[in-house]
Amino acid sequence: MKKGLFPGSFDPFTKGHEAIVFKAVELFDEVIIGIGINSNKAFLFDLEKRIDHINELFKNNPKVKVQTYQSLTVDFCKKNKASHIIRGLRNSQDFEYEKTIAHMNEAISGIETIFFLTDLKYGALNSSIIREIYLNKADISPFVTSPDFLV
């Protein structure tokens, strides 16, 4: 049973995130979407609604689970017996940032990170820009898996 953890803020969960999950289920028996809760960083979108929405989105795919966590990502991996961390890459900035974190995670725990490239059409999707668009009252529905969790 090969489990992978896809950690992130997912604030909001975008079509780019969804595409990474679809790629990851090809390799793993179970993919846990881990929403990291950081006491210094408030979420914009309601956490419970996001969890319900992600569960609804993958309700026909029993390989995909969603959980929240507050610990170090590698500790959450160990707790769930996930062998790998899953992350998505859009560009070279993502790569440089992710490389440092992946190296540190490997150094402290031995847990490797596996990267999937973004789909060509989602390369510009970025949760923080989507939050800005939303805060300025423009339509974010083309970028997110459903606007339902915004209600």
Write the DSSP assignment of 72-136 as a string of letters. Answer: -HHHHHHHTT--EEEEEE-SHHHHHHHHHHHHHHHHHH--EEEEEEPPGGGTT--HHHHHHHHHT
Considering the complex, state which of residue 10 and residue 134 has its C-beta at the smaller distance from ligand ADP.
10
Q: Is 41 helix (H, G, I), strand (E, B) or coil?
A: coil
Q: Which of residues 43-72 bind ligand ADP (CB under 6 A)?
A: none
Alpha-carbon radius of gyration of the chain: 15
- Cβ closest to ligand ADP, residue 3 vs residue 22: 22
Provide the 3-class DSSP secondary structure of residue 6. Answer: strand
Smallest distance from ligand ADP to CB 116, Å = 7
The one among 4, 16, 34, 145 contacting ligand ADP by CB under 6 A: 16
Tokens of 53: 């929405």
Binding of ligand ADP by 113 (CB under 6 A):
no
Residue 17 binding ligand ADP, by CB under 6 A = yes
The letter for the amino acid at 92 is S
Among 4, 5, 9, 66, binds ligand ADP (CB under 6 A): 9
Q: Is 101 in the site for ligand ADP (CB under 6 A)?
A: no
Q: Which residues bind ligand ADP (CB under 6 A)?
A: 8-10, 14, 16-17, 20, 87-88, 90, 94, 118, 122, 125-127
